[in-house]
């Protein structure tokens, strides 16, 4: 493995899809490998120490800023890049997918044109 740092990071903060309230505490706990119980205890203590509203606003801000946990695990930099581009702008990510599929469609059409061309059929017959 190289020492080169990549954009792919296994310990990125994501909101957990299995959390109680928006998944912020579980997401922080999973990314830092600590028990979710202690993260929730800290959140409740902050709730009472800050007279409730600042902690609630901080929690909601964290929920808005943290991306939801990917449904599938991110195996490489390409998966990481696609997930983050999709979570930032679905329109851009879907446009990228559409361009890829359009390119594949054009390649398949060229292959079909070649295979179904009259000259291709004669070449195949002469080889038999």
The span from the CA of 78 to the CA of 74, in Å, is 8
pTM above 0.75, yes or no: no
Q: How many Cβ atoms from other residues are within 10 Å of residue 14's Cβ?
A: 21
Q: How far out from the chain centre does Cα 24 lie?
A: 17
Q: Domain boundaries in the chain?
A: 9-73, 89-128
**Residues 74-88 pLDDT 10s:** 777 777 777 767 666
pLDDT above 70 coverage of the chain, percent: 78
What pLDDT, in 10s, does the model give residues 83-124?
A: 767 666 777 778 888 888 999 999 999 988 887 777 766 666
């Amino acid at each position: 493995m190289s020492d080169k740092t990549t954009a792919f990071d296994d310990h990125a903060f994501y909101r957990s899809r299995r959390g109680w309230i928006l998944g912020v505490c579980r997401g922080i706990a999973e990314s830092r490998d600590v028990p979710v119980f202690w993260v929730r205890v800290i959140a409740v203590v902050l709730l009472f120490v800050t007279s409730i509203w600042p902690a609630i606003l901080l929690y909601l801000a964290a929920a808005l800023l943290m991306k939801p946990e990917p449904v599938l695990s991110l195996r490489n930099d390409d998966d990481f890049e696609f997930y983050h581009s999709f979570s930032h702008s679905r329109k851009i990510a879907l446009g990228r997918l559409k361009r890829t599929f359009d390119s594949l469609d054009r390649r398949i059409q060229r292959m079909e044109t070649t295979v179904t061309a009259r000259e291709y059929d004669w070449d195949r017959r002469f080889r038999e």
